[in-house]
Amino acid sequence: MPELSTALVVGAGFIGTHVAQALAERGVQARVMTRSPLDDERVARLAGAELVIADASVRPALTSAAAGVDHVFFCAGGLMPAESNLDPAADVSLALPPVLNMLETLRGHPGPGLTFVSSGGTVYGPPERVPVAEDHPTEPLTSYGIMKLAAEKYVLMYERLYDLHARVLRCANVYGPYQRAARGQGFIAAVLDRVRTGRPVVVYGDGLNVRDFVYAPDVARVMADLATVRDGPRVLNVGSGRGVSLRDVLAAVAKVTGIEPELDRHPDRGFDVRENVLDVTALRSLVDAPSTSLEEGIRATWASVYRGVTA
Amino acid sequence: MPELSTALVVGAGFIGTHVAQALAERGVQARVMTRSPLDDERVARLAGAELVIADASVRPALTSAAAGVDHVFFCAGGLMPAESNLDPAADVSLALPPVLNMLETLRGHPGPGLTFVSSGGTVYGPPERVPVAEDHPTEPLTSYGIMKLAAEKYVLMYERLYDLHARVLRCANVYGPYQRAARGQGFIAAVLDRVRTGRPVVVYGDGLNVRDFVYAPDVARVMADLATVRDGPRVLNVGSGRGVSLRDVLAAVAKVTGIEPELDRHPDRGFDVRENVLDVTALRSLVDAPSTSLEEGIRATWASVYRGVTA
């Protein structure tokens, strides 16, 4: 079982922040690498991790940040799924260079394990069967999903050719504190933001699209747990394994906040799949799978959003 | 059945040239787009096609070249498979922009069908079973293969979201006249070049790796035939469906040329898969599959290589 006493987290966004917290909770000394300086509140969220402000697509910066760590958690991304289709060329130039730089860095300095955060919500495309297992065909309908898939293939190629110890985690629709509604991250973040600011919630389609919402602190804990497990498949789904419709989310939000969300209905966007629920059988065979209930997770997220307002 | 009276061929390389010839044979008025000016001999090979010297990653150039054509054959690539792994970042920046530009161009001016030339020799990676059908897992071991796969996914995404009529052809190891040994294209081209110049043939591994060699004029004919067929799967293997070892190739070359190739043995490169033979059942259900025998094809290729020397 690999030791996990020091780690590098690439990306101080939504998921990277939760990973830093999960690592701090288990006493792992973490270093967090992010391109832009953070304000004090965001630094505080990193729970004592060493902060490195540098671009992950620059080789020397990454080499020095990765020096001596037991594990690298790669949590940096390109554009958001919806905006990626507006400019696929920009998405390509943003999404892949940091991943390739990371892989070349680890190739030159082998040792640390690698966890690559991929997207179970986009790489599969329209499911032929639900729940979606890891061997399901991958036919993404967003540039975001295509680039995640290409990045996965590079990770697996480097693993095979250059003895890298890597795992790809295809995360479902992750939600929780720190998710930024303004950047278009996540339906739950958007709903809570709209409820907080008294604006109507934008819903594409009939509201019956089904998603696998998984609570970010659960995902971060799973990531930290898996980093100490060498066995098992190289590609793993990480989700709740439960399907919830957008209407179910709206009902849960109403219950938690006491506010009935107003709706702003739009036609289906074409690239939104009808139903996406991940099969987490393989994950369960290795570690404790995410278990926070939707209501519980929304309650904690709302508390965080609400604190944000009153702070 | 879609009409095919005018066509744009993007790329005047090995495959693009054969496609131009196949189109000329059936009276299709072709336009060939290539980045760099061609010498007279290479222009002559295009069999009367209109030549457009322009970069396919520049929107206005492509828009004007594609105007009014019935079909676009996309035969441009990035780096060669082996060299792509030496610099994946360069491969990414070369391989995808022209494809994305093509797709955005066709999205804005719908009408023409699209044939995208992909690589059955690299997108699948190590086969779990042989022959390899189109639904086989895709785990490329070269950046070249990963970029072909990503490009395929973009083609299929645009088809699904924007009503593009597109087909992806996963071609096996294509060989034939005009293949350039100097650029590392193809084992047969390399062998014939070495035999012609009296140098030893570089062989990686034990020479028992098996490939599906398919004759370029056969592939070009299949591409022209398929452009008039709307039905059938979006992704099709194009190969001979027969497996041939590198040693079999060497024996056939000895027989055709009367020269026993001298060998320069090197260890396996890691990314060379053991056996790759494509399942062409789906292709056969739509058009006549490639049928030129290996000896026949090598004979015609040798005649062309030999003419090149004496010209």
Instruction: Give the Cα separation of A120 and A138 in Å (integer).
Output: 10
B68 close to A (CB below 8 A): no
Give the architecture-level CATH label for domain A6-175+213-239: 3-Layer(aba) Sandwich (3.40)
pLDDT at B240 over 70: yes
- A146: chain B residues, CB-CB within 8 Å: 150, 153-154, 157
H/E element holding B57? none
Q: Is B100 on the interface with A (CB under 8 A)?
A: yes
**DSSP character at residue A181:** G
What's the pTM? Answer: 0.94
Is the pLDDT at B184 greater than 70? The verdict is no
Euclidean distance between CA atoms B96 and B86, whole angstroms? 17
Contact residues, A window 173-232, toward B, CB-based 8 Å cutoff: none
Q: Where are the domains of chain A?
A: 6-175+213-239
**Helices marked H in chain A:** 14-25, 40-45, 59-66, 81-84, 88-108, 143-162, 187-197, 216-226, 246-257, 281-284, 294-310
Distance CA B98, CA B10 (A): 9
* pLDDT at residue A3, rounded to an integer: 83
Calpha distance B34→B37 (Å, rounded): 7
- Taking the CA of residue A299 and the nearest CA in chain B, the distance in Å comes to 36
A49 Ramachandran zone, left/alpha/beta (phi>0; psi -120 to 50): beta
**Model confidence over B105-140: pLDDT tens digits?**
999 777 899 999 999 999 999 999 999 999 999 999
CA dihedral B170, B173, B174, B180 (to 10 degrees): 120
**Do the beta carbons of residue B14 and residue B174 sit within 8 Å?**
yes
- B140: closest CA of chain A, how far (Å): 7
Hey, is the C-beta of B155 within 8 angstroms of any chain A C-beta?
A: no
Chain A closest CA to B153's CA: distance in Å?
6
pLDDT value of residue A183: 64
CB-CB under 8 Å, A157 with B142: yes
| pLDDT tens digits for range B28-50 | 999 999 999 999 999 999 999 99
For B272, nearest residue in chain A (alpha carbons): A161
**Chain A, nearest residue to B163 by Cα:** A270
Q: Do A141 and B157 touch (CB under 8 A)?
A: yes
At residue B183, the pLDDT reads 64
Instruction: Say which of A93, A139, A154 has its CB closest to residue B88.
Output: A154
Q: Using a CB–CB cutoff of 8 Å, tell me whether A112 touches chain B.
A: no
Closest to A80 measured CA to CA, from A94, A68, A66? A94
Contact at CB, B147 and A150, closer than 8 angstroms: yes
pLDDT of residue A265: 93
A150 neighbourhood in chain B, CB within 8 Å: 146-147, 149-150
Where do we find the tokens 């404790």? A288
| CA distance to partner chain A, nearest, from residue B150 (Å) | 6
DSSP class per residue in A99-164:
HHHHHHHHHHS--SEEEEEEETTTSS-S-SSSSBPTTS----SSHHHHHHHHHHHHHHHHHHHH--
Mean pLDDT of the residues in chain B: 92
Q: Which of A101, A139, A150 sits opposite B146 (nearest CB)?
A: A150
Closest approach of chain A CAs to the CA of B87, in angstroms? 9
> Is A161–B89 a contact, with Cβ atoms under 8 angstroms apart?
no
Determine the pLDDT at residue A1.
63
Long-range contacts of B306-310 (CB under 8 A, 24+ apart): B306/B196, B309/B196
Pick A100's closest partner by Cβ from B88, B161, B270: B88
List chain A pLDDT tens, one digit each, 311 residues: 678 999 999 999 999 999 999 999 999 999 999 999 999 999 999 999 999 999 998 999 999 999 999 999 999 876 778 788 999 999 998 999 999 999 999 997 778 999 999 999 999 999 999 999 999 999 999 999 999 999 999 999 999 999 899 999 999 999 999 998 766 678 999 999 999 999 999 899 899 999 999 999 999 999 999 999 989 999 999 999 999 999 999 999 999 999 999 999 999 888 888 899 999 999 999 999 999 999 999 999 999 987 664 33
Question: Looking at the predicted structure, is the pLDDT value of residue B311 above 60?
Answer: no
Tens-digit pLDDT profile for residues B212-225 = 999 999 999 999 99
Distance between CA atoms of residues B37 and B54, nearest Å: 9
A139 has a chain B CB within 8 A of its CB? yes
Q: How far is B120 from chain A (nearest CA, A)?
A: 16
Nearest beta carbon to residue B146 from set A142, A153, A271:
A153
Cβ atoms of A304 and A241 closer than 8 Å = no
Using a CB–CB cutoff of 8 Å, tell me whether B94 touches chain A. Answer: no
Q: Complex ipTM, two decimals?
A: 0.93
A149: closest chain B residue by CA: B150
CB within 8 Å of A105: residues ≥ 6 apart: A59, A62, A63, A66
Pick among B85, B128, B153 to test the A interface (most A CBs inside 10 A):
B153
CB contact at 8 A, B113 and B166: yes
CB-nearest partner of A88 from B100, B135, B139 = B100
The DSSP code for B35 is S
Class assignment of domain B6-176+213-239? alpha beta
CA distance A69 to A47: 18
3-class state of residue A187 by DSSP:
helix
Q: What is the pLDDT of residue B269?
A: 84
